[in-house]
Structure 1
Amino acid sequence: MKLTIIGRNISVTDGLRNMVEKKLGKLDKFFRQDTACTVTLSTQKDMHKIEVTIPVKGTVIRAEQETEDMYQSIDLVVDVIERQIQKYRKKIIDRRQSALAFSEAFLEKEQDKAEDAEIRILRTKQIDLKPMTPEEACLQMELVGHSFFVFQNGDSGKVNVVYKRKENSYGLIEPEE
């Protein structure tokens, strides 16, 4: 993998860079050498955060971890990425998709039965899409106590989603034009 390491509110020392390269080097067995990987290290107050983003065909494998120790955050994010890769591998094999970013050895390797869990949808819910503004949707979301809310944007007429982010802020997902 080609690692790009970025520091925000933190200087990326040689020791920190070496640790990131060593830990994320474990992921090399999954990817081809030309696969891009962006690692962002940041600090805010006493918390150390690492974000890893690996774009692959059709999706993005992404994880972030935040702890009081940057080295612990690095260890945790590698574990999360490995779990996501295993799930994504199953999806690729089931759909017989091309997986340009992944190495052949990884795709051909046998997978344990325990990791072979199917995705099951346990509940289906139908909703009545009412036209409203994103601000009204946020209020509705708070009223029902959910972390996201699907609605029809009154301005564009398209289906949008608002969701709750960390630190009591909100996000809006809307389709591209």
Structure 2
Amino acid sequence: MQLAVTFRHMEPSEALKGYVQERTGRLVKYIDKPLEAQVTLTVNKFRQIVDVVINANGIRIAGQESHDDMYAAVDLVMEKIERQVKKYREKIRRHKPTPGKELMWRRDTYELESFEDDREPVVVHTDSYFVKPMSIDEAAMQMELSHQDFLVFNNASTQMVNVLYRRKDGNYGLIVPQSS
């Protein structure tokens, strides 16, 4: 498991880093895939905040907790992450994986100034990731676990790229491309 611990507004502590490493190491018994974990420990004036993002074979699970004590905040967020991982694991056991071909997807970010002038837009950031084949239910489950606002996926039944997004009313919307 790869672990990155970031300290913000506080001095790095080997004891705290070791504690975070021990707590995140427990996730290996639930997910046998290679894990990547990013943990950010932040101290504000009145509270201690712990952000955790776990990536495991295309699955992103995130959680955040705050408490007066940093160790207690780590415990709270790791309990939340463990619940999410167990929930995901149970759903995977009930679902049969859908066969299909993974696609490579690319997302570009443009500078705002380039749209205000008559200049061509300039790409300032590009993300590339694999679009996994999955059903709409699996995509909704993945979005729920990752707390993202949208998810691009390859619809296993139609073999087309779809976008599932979270609406302001809390429900989901689905964008399906149509050919004319």
Question: What's the TM-score, normalizing by structure 2?
Answer: 0.51
How do residues 2-151 of structure 1 correspond to structure 2 at under 5 angstroms?
Answer: 2-32=2-32, 34-57=34-57, 59-97=59-97
What is the percentage of aligned positions where both structures have the same residue? 30
Is this contact kept in 1: 2:34–2:56, CA < 8 A? no
Residue 63 (structure 1) shift: 1.1
Aligned 8 A contact 2:41 2:48 in 1: yes
Distance in structure 1 (CA, Å) of the matches to 2:51 and 2:11: 15
* Kept after mapping to 2: 8 A contact 1:42/1:48: yes
Between the two proteins, the alignment pairs up a number of residues equal to 108
> d(CA) in 2 for partners of 1:65 and 1:40?
11
- Please list every run of 5 or more consecutive structure 1 residues that lacks an aligned counterpart in the other structure: 99-158, 164-174
Cα separation, partners in 2 of 1:97 and 1:37, compared to 1, 3 Å: farther
For the Cα contact (< 8 Å) 1:49–1:64, is it kept in 2? Answer: yes
CA deviation after TM superposition for structure 1 residue 89, in Å? 0.5
Q: C-alpha displacement at 1:92, in angstroms?
A: 1.1
Match of 1:88, as an amino acid?
Answer: Y
Conservation of the 8 A alpha-carbon contact between 1:8 and 1:43: yes
What does residue range 152-163 of structure 1 map to in structure 2 within 5 Å? 161-162=167-168
Q: Residues 49 and 65 of structure 2 are in contact (CA less than 8 Å); yes or no, is this contact kept in structure 1?
A: yes
Return the alpha-carbon distance in structure 1 between the equivalents of residues 14 and 27 of structure 2. 20
Query: Does structure 1 conserve the Cα–Cα contact (< 8 Å) formed by 2:30 and 2:86?
Result: no
- Listed as ranges, the matches of 1:158-169 within 5 Å are 161-162=167-168
Secondary structure of 2:85 counterpart: helix
Say which structure is richer in strand: 2
SS of residue in 2 equivalent to 1:78: helix
Q: 1:93 to 1:13 in 2, by over 3 A?
A: same
Is there any run of 5+ residues in structure 2 with no aligned partner, and where? 99-164, 170-174, 176-180
The alignment yields a C-alpha RMSD, in angstroms, of 3.1
What is the letter of the counterpart of residue 49 of structure 1?
Answer: I
Distance 1:58 1:18 in 2: 26
TM-score normalised to structure 1 length: 0.52
